[in-house]
Structure 1
Amino acid sequence: MTKVDLTVSKVPETSPKWLGKYGKVLYPKIAAYLNKNSKIIRADEYLVQEYCSAYDIYRIAYADIQEHGIQQAVYKTAVSPLDGSVVSRDFSGYRKNPAYQMMSDSLSKMNQIGRELGLSPKARSQMMELNSPNDKNEESVDDQLKEFFK
């Protein structure tokens, strides 16, 4: 059986055509950064695409909030049954801009995927811990397996 080296084929640095404008800009930057990590393989491409797609939604929702505000006024409109004309338009309060929930959801998704890809300081340190054994006298997994199969 031949051994397949999964680290050779890394995440492509060209963004997929279907990504939105913000995701297309972010994708090559994230891919180039991640490809420097020895633990990133081609199979992680899907996570990078998902991360950039969530970023695109985040930016669109953020722009909507900037334009329309975090909350929106709600009005109750009364219409005449005779001719369909507006009789009154009464203010009934405020509601949260739906874009806020979209922004929040996409930010949560980005944080989740970012941890998986090692994009946060804590995730990076955990990935680095996987490389080095806790105790220098401790045998590596390869050495333990060799000993076991003797």
Structure 2
Amino acid sequence: MQFQDKTLIEARCINYQQMRNAYADIMENGSVKAAYRTVTNPTNGEIMATNFTGYKRNPSTQIFDAATAKIKSISKDLGMTPQSRAELLDLSKDDDNGDSVKKLKELFG
């Protein structure tokens, strides 16, 4: 395994953990949250009203989306998707003795 592959695998693992943490937060707190604006009396600080302003997206949904996209991209770079494996096999057909095709087939079944 090359150094670059190790770095990509580590990055994939990190993003996978970020995805799982974000998903756990989404399951615990929901993907959206009601947002309110509190109106206070400027003289004594007493709360006069709490107005509903809409819904706010949980920041974990953005983390989840970004981590998922990075995992998909890294998986493709590592040949972990059907399409990327097919591309690797096509590239290896240029090999004169066919050794690289045999090695790829052993790795990816």
**TM-score, L = length of structure 1:** 0.59
Distance across 2 between alignment mates of 1:127 and 1:105:
26
Secondary structure, in 3 states, of the residue corresponding to 1:106? helix
Corresponding residue to 1:112 among 73, 87, 95 = 73
Aligned partner letter, 1:85:
E
Aligned residues: 97
- 1:140 maps to 2:108: no
User: How much has 1:101 moved relative to structure 2?
Assistant: 1.0
Aligned partner letter, 1:53:
I
User: How much has 1:42 moved relative to structure 2?
Assistant: 3.0
- Which structure features the higher share of helix residues? 2
Distance across 1 between alignment mates of 2:46 and 2:66:
40
Per-residue CA deviations over 1:20-71 (Å, capped at 9, x if unaligned) read xxxxxxxxxxxxxxxxxxxxx2331111111111111111111111111111
Corresponding residue to 1:71 among 15, 19, 32 = 32
- Which structure features the higher share of strand residues? 2
Q: Indicate the residue corresponding to 2:100 in structure 1.
A: none
Q: Which has the higher contact order (CA 8 A, sep 6+)?
A: 2
Secondary structure, in 3 states, of the residue corresponding to 2:45? coil
Distance across 1 between alignment mates of 2:17 and 2:61:
14
Per-residue CA deviations over 1:80-132 (Å, capped at 9, x if unaligned) read 22222322111111122211111101111111111000111111121222222
Corresponding residue to 1:52 among 13, 29, 34 = 13
Distance across 1 between alignment mates of 2:54 and 2:4:
49
Q: Indicate the residue corresponding to 1:81 in structure 2.
A: 42
Identity of aligned residues (%): 31
Structure 2 unmatched ranges of 5 or more = 98-109
Aligned partner letter, 2:96:
S
Distance across 2 between alignment mates of 1:85 and 1:124:
65
